[in-house]
Amino acid sequence: MRVTAIYPGTFDPMTVGHIDVVNRASRMFDDVIVAVAASRSKHPFFSLEERVDMATRITDELDNVTARPFDGLLVEFADRVESKVIVRGLRAISDFEYEVQIAGVNRHLSPSIETIFIAAAQDYTFLSSSIVREIAQLDGDVSDFVHPLVVEAFAARRAGRSLT
């Protein structure tokens, strides 16, 4: 039986911490879907299409990883893709408290779904997409925090160019 795990997030943008979790999950599960959330309420900097494209290109070398957009309840997306595993990365104890609450709600909504937590590598415990966005929007260097494709995407956006 193949096990497909979902790694959900807004990925606005995908950071090296996210990439680390994807790489580690890809060694644990047969297939990993990077589920890129529409998250309109968060007013993402990059469009859903841009975020899915970047996630696809960043994870291109991982044969068992795909990126797909989703909107709505994660458990409904999990049902559509026949996944019973949600992967979440944890940076700090505050992440744990929030993520346990979300895992409990997801399990209540769909009792067959399990949430697996992957602790962030020590080098990435301080890193978040919102911090990266703020640095980039203030013309700071984010190259240590994101894949080169994301650095290019920020540069294109600053120059007023389309990412595609």
User: For the chain, which residues make up each domain, given as ranges?
Assistant: 4-158
Q: What pLDDT is attached to residue 104?
A: 96
Q: How far apart are the first and last CA of the chain?
A: 38
Does the pLDDT at position 162 exceed 70?
no
* Cβ partners under 8 Å of residue 88, min gap 6: 7, 8, 99, 102, 103, 115, 116, 117, 118
Look up the CATH number of domain 4-158: 3.40.50.620
Q: Residue 126's CB: how many other CB atoms inside 10 A? A: 12
Q: What pLDDT is attached to residue 94?
A: 76
The string of pLDDT tens digits covering residues 89-136 is: 998 887 888 999 999 999 999 999 999 999 988 888 888 999 999 999
Instruction: Give CA separation, 140 vs 45, 71, 134, 154, in Å.
Output: 16, 31, 8, 10
Q: What pLDDT is attached to residue 164?
A: 53
Does the pLDDT at position 18 exceed 60?
yes
Query: Looking at residues 12-17, what average pLDDT do you find?
Result: 96
Strands (E), the chain: 4-9, 31-37, 65-70, 85-90, 114-119
Pairwise CA distance, residues 131 & 140, whole Å: 11
Instruction: Give CA separation, 84 vs 2, 79, 95, 114, in Å.
Output: 11, 8, 22, 6
**Burial class, 36, CB count within 10 angstroms (exposed 0-12 / middle 13-18 / buried 19+):** buried
143 or 158: whose pLDDT is higher? 143
From 117, 89, 90, select the one nearest 21 (Cα to Cα).
89
The DSSP letter of residue 120 is P
Q: What pLDDT is attached to residue 161?
A: 62
Query: Looking at residues 146-160, what average pLDDT do you find?
Result: 91
pLDDT grade, residue 39 (50/70/90)?
confident
The string of pLDDT tens digits covering residues 40-86 is: 787 899 999 999 999 999 999 999 999 999 999 999 999 999 999 99
| Tokens standing for residue 9 | 């997030």
Does the pLDDT at position 163 exceed 80?
no
| Tokens standing for residue 142 | 């984010």
Catalytic residues: 18, 42, 91, 129
Q: Residue 122's CB: how many other CB atoms inside 10 A? A: 7
Does the pLDDT at position 19 exceed 60?
yes
